[in-house]
Structure 1
Amino acid sequence: MHHRNRPIRTAALALSTAALGIGVLAAPPASADPSPALRAAQAAASTDSTPSTIAAEWIAGELSNGLITTLQGPDFGLTIDTGLALATVASQGGTVTAINNSLEPRIGEYVGDGTKESYAGALGKAATFARTAKKNPTSYGGVNLIARLEERTANVPADPAAEPQAAAFAGRIFDKSEFGNFANVVGQSYAVRALTLAGSAEAGAARDFLLKQQCASGYFRLDFAKADVPNQSCTEGAAGSEADPDATALAVINLVESGDRSAAVQGALAKAGTWLAGRQRGSGAIRSAGAGASINTNSTAVGGYALGLLKNRDAALKAALWIRKNQPVDKYKCRTALTRDTGAVAYRRDRVTAATTTGIPADARGEWRRATAQAILGLQFAPASKDKLRIVSVRREARAGDNVQFQVYGLAPSESACMQVKGDFLRVKGKKSGAKIVRKLQLPTGNQRRVALVKTSDDEARTSLRVRN
C-alpha cells in the first residue's frame, strides 16, 4: 500500500534521550489519534507517511514479547520511547497496546519500589506513556504514578522568605535512591507534562522550575544546579549551564503537549524555537552537545519535531530530509545486507556505509533501535512527492548495449528508490525540489520489448521499449 500522498494520522508524543536511561494482545488496541498540537502543526503541510511508517514497522519487529530487550534484560526506558514513537503512527495502535500489556505489570522495575527507590524522571515518563496507551496514570500496574511523582517534587514552602533555599528549588524533582540523585531537566519536562495533564496542584511549581532552566539565549541546560546552591536558574556562560539541544527540544515538546497556554510558557517556547532553528545547519541536521558531540539522527529528530510543533515547518522539513537520508532502502536489484532491515534509521551516515556489506552488527543494534525510535518523530514532517510515481523512457526503441536515458517523476525529497532493467540497476534519491531525476541504464541483449522499473519501499512504476541487437 502506497502512503506518499496520504496525510499522517498520528499523535504527537515525545520520547526521551540517553538522559533518562537511553534511554499477545489482551485488550483493544490503543488508538493513535493525532494530538491537537500535531494536527495544528501539519494542517498546512503535505507530508509523506512512508518513512515514519516503515521505521515503525521495523522497530515493532525488534520487540520481544512487547519489550525491547538486551543481553542484560529488558530496556524499559527504550521500550517506552518506542511505545511513544509508535503512538504517532496510525497503524501501530495494536503494538502500543502490546507494549503496555508487557510494561504495566513490571512498571516497578522502571520507576522503583516507591519506598527505598523512587525515580522522578522515570515516573514522569511512565505517566506520559500510560496516558498515551489510554491507561490511568493514577492506577498503572497498581501504582499511582502521579502521587509518587508529587512525592518526588519539592513543595513550595509556606513562608518562602523564611526558607529561601527551599523556595529556590520549589517544584524541582528529586530521585530517592541509594545510588544517588540523577534527576535532570529532561525528567523535569516529563514531570511537568504528566502533572499538568493530571491536574496536579504541583504542576505550576514544577513548570516554573523547568522554566528556570532556560538560559537567556533560549536554550535549556541538561543538569540542575546542586540542591544547596542559592541560584537554581540557568546562567548563561557559567559552568553547568551549557546549551543542550536535546534537553531544549524535549522541553519544547513536553511543554507544548502539556497544553499550558500561559504567557510564561508561550514566551519560553518562542525563545527556545528561535534558538533551535539557529542551531540547525544548512543540511537540516542538528549537532548534539557535551562530550562526543556530533551531528546525529537523535538530536536532529527531536529538534526537528519540536520545531514542527512550533509550526516552523521549513526547519522541520529540512530536519526530516536529513533523517530520511539515513534510512537506507536498498531493495529489489539494489539489495544489500541492510535490505532485511528496511525502515531502520542509522545514528549517522557512516553507520549505513559500514553496514551495507555486513548488515547491522549485533553490538550496534541497540544504537539503530534508539536512532529509529526517535527518527519516527522527526520523519513526521517529511515532505510528500508532488507527482505520481512514474518512469519515462526518452526513446521508444534502442539497440542492445545502448545507455538509454530514463526520467523518474514522483519521488519524494530524499526518498530512496531503485531504477532497474534486466542486467542493470541504479540507486537514486529524490531531489529536495521534488523535480524529475534523469539517469541512464544499459539495455541487455535480445530482440524483444524490455521493461524498465523504478521501485520505492512501497510503490513501483514501469515503462517499456523495444530492444534490437
Structure 2
Amino acid sequence: MPTLRRTLGLLAIPAVALATALPAATAAHAAPENATAAATSSPTVRPDAAAGGWLARQLVDGDHFESVFNGTAYPDQGLTIDAVLAFAASRGSDEAAAKATAWLAKPEIIGGYLGDGTTEAYAGATAKLLLAVEVRGGDPAAFGGVDLPARLRSLQTAEGRFSDRSQWGDYSNAFGQSLAVIALHRTPGGAPAAAVDFLANSQCADGGFPLSFGQAACTSDADATALAVQALAATGRAAKANTGLGWLTAHQNADGGFAAAGATASNANSTGLATQALLSGGRLGPGLKAWGRLVKLQQGCSADPAVRGAVAYDATGFNAGNGARATAQAVLGLAGTPLSTLSASGAAPDAPTQACPPAPATR
C-alpha cells in the first residue's frame, strides 16, 4: 500500500480529478466562515471575486486546506494550490494567497507533496506547484529549497512524458503533462519540444484528449481536454488546440455545463476548466453559455450568508464537503484568464464578499 507521502503526492491532480482518484469519503476540511483567512473584506458584484473571497475565508488557520482520510485530517497541498490560482484569477484575496504560498514553502509541506526528489518525485505535483509560484511572482528555482524547473525537467522521459519516479508506481497523467508544458513555457528555457509533441500526439481521433496515457482505447475527457487545449495554444500548436476546442463545444450539455468522464450531469469543476479554455480560446458563444452555468451554481443573496459567493458542485445544491474544490476551479472559468498568462500582480489584498441589498427593516 502507498505511504501517506505517496497519497499526498496524488494531490497534484487538479481538484476535478480528486472526485474519482480518491475515495468517496474524502472531503475537504474547511475552516468556519470568517475564520483567520482574511482580515478585511469589501462587497463585490463580480462572480469571480465573490467566489475567491469566499474561498479565502475557508482556509484552515488562514493559510491552507486539509482533506480527511478515514477520519483524520491531512494537509491538502493540491487544493491549496488551486486556491492560490483562483485568488490570482479573481484579482483579489492576495493576503490569503501570500499566506498560502508561504505555507506551501515549508519543508515538511513541500517535501510531503513533491517527494524527496531522489527515490520519490512526483511530476504532476511539481508542475502544479511550479505554476503557482510563477503566478505569484516568486523564484521557482529556489522555492522552499527546491529548484522546481530543474526538478520537473529531470522527470521528463526520452519520449517527452513527465513521469513520476516512485516505488509506488507512475501516477502521472494528462493533467500533469499539460500543467508541466504550461509551467515550463513560462520559464526562460520554454517547454521542451518533445514534451509538447507527446501531449499533442496523445489527442484522440475525435479531437479530445484522454486523462490517462497508453490505454487501448483513447477516451476523451472534458477536463483533460480543457487543460491540453491551453497548453497547446500557449506553445503554438493552434491546429491541435482548435480541434480540442471543437470537441469541447460538441460535448457541452444543454444547460451550458460540462460533465466529468463517465457522467452526464454538469459539474462546476469540469465546467470551470472548460469555460476557461473556451473563453481564452476565443469560443465566446459556448464559453459564455458555460460561464452562465457557473453563475447559476453560485450561491447568491438568497443563500445563507456563510456560503454566499461559493459555487456548488452541481445542481443538487451546495455541499460543504466539496464546496471548496468546486469553487476553486469554478473561479478559473468565471475569470476566463488562461493559465499561461495568469498573474497575481496587482491583485487586491482583501477577500471580497458577495454584494447583497440590505435586509428589509422589521418592526
Q: TM-score, normalised by structure 1?
A: 0.61
Q: How many residues align?
A: 303
* Amino acid across the alignment from 1:70: S
Task: Tell me by how many angstroms 1:293 deviates.
Answer: 5.1
The code of the aligned residue for 1:121 comes to G
Say whether residues 1:70 and 2:67 are aligned partners. yes
Deviation at 1:19, TM superposition (A): 3.6
- Are residues 1:342 and 2:308 paired? yes
> Would you say 1:378 and 2:339 are equivalent positions?
no
1:325 — aligned with what? Answer: 296
**Of the candidates 178, 182, 187, which is equivalent to residue 193 of structure 1?**
182
- Contact in 2 for aligned 1:223/1:240 (Cα 8 Å): no
Tell me, yes or no, if structure 1 residue 282 matches structure 2 residue 254: yes
Deviations 1:78-131 (A, max 9, x none): 110111111112222222211111111221211111011100111111110110
Shift of 1:255: 3.5
Counterpart position of 1:458 = 355
> Is the Cα–Cα contact under 8 Å of residues 232 and 240 in structure 2 kept in the other structure?
no
1:150-200: per-residue Cα shift (whole Å, max 9, x none)?
Answer: 111013xxxxxxxxxxxxxx1111101111110001100011112222244
* Distance change >3 Å, CA 51–CA 378, structure 1 → 2: same
Mapped partners of 2:141, 2:232: distance in 1: 21
C-alpha spacing 1:461/1:96, structure 2 compared with 1 (3 Å)? closer
Q: Does 1:255 align with 2:232?
A: yes
Q: Which runs of 5+ in 1 are unaligned?
A: 1-14, 24-47, 156-169, 227-238, 353-359, 382-455, 463-469
Q: Which fold has the larger relative contact order, with Cα–Cα distance below 8 Å and residues 6 or more apart in sequence?
A: 2
Aligned residue identity for 1:307: L
Contact 1:153–1:202, Cα closer than 8 Å, also in 2: no
**Corresponding letter in the other structure for 2:330:** A
Structure 2 distance, partners of 1:367, 1:201, is: 35
User: 1:54 maps to what in 2?
Assistant: 50
Identity rate, percent? 35
1:16 aligns with 2:14: yes
CA distance in 1 between counterparts of 2:154 and 2:354 reads: 48
Q: Distance in 2 between matches of 1:95 and 1:280?
A: 34
Q: Taking structure 1 as reference, are residues 224 and 380 closer, same or farther at Cα in structure 2, changes over 3 Å only?
A: same
RMSD: 2.5
Name the SS of the counterpart of 2:92 in structure 1.
helix
* Native 8 Å contact 2:223 2:260 kept in 1: yes
Query: Structure 1 or 2: larger helix share?
Result: 2
SS at match of 1:246: helix
The yes-or-no answer on 1:301 pairing with 2:272 is yes
Given the superposition, is the C-alpha separation of residues 459 and 367 from structure 1 closer, same or farther in structure 2, using an over 3 Å criterion? closer
1:148 corresponding residue in structure 2: 151
Match of 1:136 in 2: 139
**Within 2, Cα distance between the matches of 1:350 and 1:303?**
20
Code of the aligned partner of 1:54:
A
Give the distance between the partners of 1:329 and 1:271, measured in 2 at CA: 36
Q: Which runs of 5+ in 2 are unaligned?
A: 1-12, 23-27, 29-43, 337-352
Q: In structure 2, how many angstroms separate the alpha carbons of the residues matched to 1:281 and 1:293?
A: 8
Structure 2 counterpart of 1:379, one-letter code: L
CA deviations 1:284-335 (Å, max 9, x no partner) are 1112213x5532111111111100001111211111111111112244xxxx
1:32-69 CA-partner distances (Å, limit 9, x unpaired): xxxxxxxxxxxxxxxx9611111111110011231012
Secondary structure of 1:348's aligned partner: coil
**Alpha carbons of 1:92 and 1:253: their partners in 2 closer, same or farther (altered >3 Å)?**
farther
**Structure 1 residues 248 and 202 mapped into 2: Cα distance closer, same or farther (>3 Å)?**
closer
The structure carrying a bigger strand percent of its residues is 1
Q: Measure the CA separation in 2 of the matches of 1:246 and 1:122.
A: 17
Q: Contact between 1:171 and 1:202, CA under 8 Å: does it hold in 2?
A: no
Q: How far has the Cα of 1:366 moved from its partner?
A: 3.5
Q: Output the CA distance in 2 between the equivalents of 1:240 and 1:347.
A: 29
Deviation at residue 266 of structure 1 after TM alignment: 0.8
